[in-house]
C-alpha cells in the first residue's frame, strides 16, 4: 500500500519485501524479507567472514555468526541474540539438507504454512521483553499455558478482538490471493488507486481510534 501511495505522489521506493510469508523455506524467507537488511548482512558480514568459500564447516559457522550479529544489531539484549541464533539454526539445518527445507517433500501449501510457523515463533523472541516471557508466550501458542499481557493473563487467541481477527483474515487473503504491491503498481488503474486510497484512510482511522502502541524500531 505504501509503494502504491508513494508512486501516486511521485516517490520511487526500492523493493524491500517480496511476499516473504509465501516462502517455502527459511532460506527463501530471508531472500524475500527485509531485502536491504538481508543484503547488508550478506555483503558486510557473511562474505567478509568467508561466506561459503572455505568449506562446509566454515560455511555453517559463518551463517550462525552472521545471524547472531544480525540479532545483536537490533539491540543489546538476550532476546535478540536468541532470535539471531534461532534464525541461524534453521539456515544451517537447511544448508545441511542441500539448501532445502526439511519439509520440502510436502505440498506447497504445507511448506508455506510450516515456514510461517517457524518464522512466527522466532518473532516471539524478537518482540518479548525477556527470555522467560518469550518462553511463556511460546508455551501459550501451543496450548501449554497463558501469555502475559498488559491487562493480565489471557490466551494468545482469546486476547484478539473481532477487528484484529478480521484484519488477520484480510491480510491472509491479500498475501496469498493477489499479486504483490510491486506488481500491482506497474499497471496503475483507477479502481486500484481508489482501493489503495480507501485502505489507507481506513488504516489511518484505525490508528487514531486505537490505543497508543510505540513503534518497535524506535527502541533501537
What is the rounded CA–CA span in Å between residue 106 and residue 128? 31
Task: Give me the half-sphere count of Cα atoms (radius 13 Å) on the Cβ side of residue 90.
Answer: 23
Torsion of Cα atoms, 181 then 182 then 187 then 191, to 10°: 10
Q: CB–CB of 5/204 below 8 Å?
A: no
Active-site residue, 34 included: no
Work out the widest C-alpha separation in the chain, in whole angstroms. 55
Catalytic residue among 34, 74, 206, 212: 74
Burial category of 93 from C-beta neighbours within 10 Å (exposed 0-12, middle 13-18, buried 19 and up): middle
The C-alpha cell that represents 86 in the structure block:
534461532
Catalytic residues: 74
Amino acid at each position: 500500500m505504501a509503494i502504491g501511495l508513494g508512486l501516486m505522489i511521485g516517490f520511487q521506493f526500492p523493493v524491500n519485501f517480496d511476499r516473504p510469508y509465501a516462502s517455502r523455506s527459511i532460506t527463501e524467507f530471508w531472500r524475500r524479507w527485509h531485502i536491504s537488511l538481508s543484503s547488508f548482512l550478506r555483503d558486510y558480514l557473511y562474505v567478509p567472514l568467508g561466506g561459503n568459500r572455505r568449506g562446509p564447516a566454515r560455511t555453517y559457522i559463518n551463517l550462525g555468526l552472521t545471524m547472531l550479529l544480525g540479532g545483536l544489531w537490533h539491540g543489546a539484549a538476550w532476546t535478540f541474540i536468541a532470535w539471531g541464533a534461532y534464525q541461524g539454526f534453521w539456515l544451517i539445518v537447511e544448508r545441511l539438507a542441500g539448501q532445502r527445507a526439511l519439509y520440502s517433500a510436502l505440498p506447497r501449501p504445507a511448506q508455506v504454512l510450516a515456514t510461517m510457523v517457524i518464522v512466527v515463533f522466532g518473532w516471539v523472541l524478537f518482540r518479548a521483553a525477556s527470555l522467560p516471557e518469550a518462553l511463556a508466550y511460546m508455551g501459550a501458542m501451543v496450548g501449554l499455558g497463558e501469555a502475559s499481557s498488559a491487562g493480565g493473563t489471557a490466551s494468545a487467541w482469546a486476547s484478539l478482538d473481532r477487528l484484529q481477527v478480521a484484519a488477520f483474515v484480510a491480510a491472509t487473503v491479500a498475501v496469498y490471493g493477489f499479486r504483490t504491491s510491486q506488481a500491482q503498481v506497474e499497471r496503475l488503474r483507477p479502481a486500484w488507486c481508489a482501493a489503495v486510497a480507501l485502505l489507507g484512510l481506513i488504516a489511518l482511522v484505525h490508528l487514531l481510534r486505537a490505543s497508543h502502541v510505540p513503534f518497535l524500531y524506535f527502541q533501537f
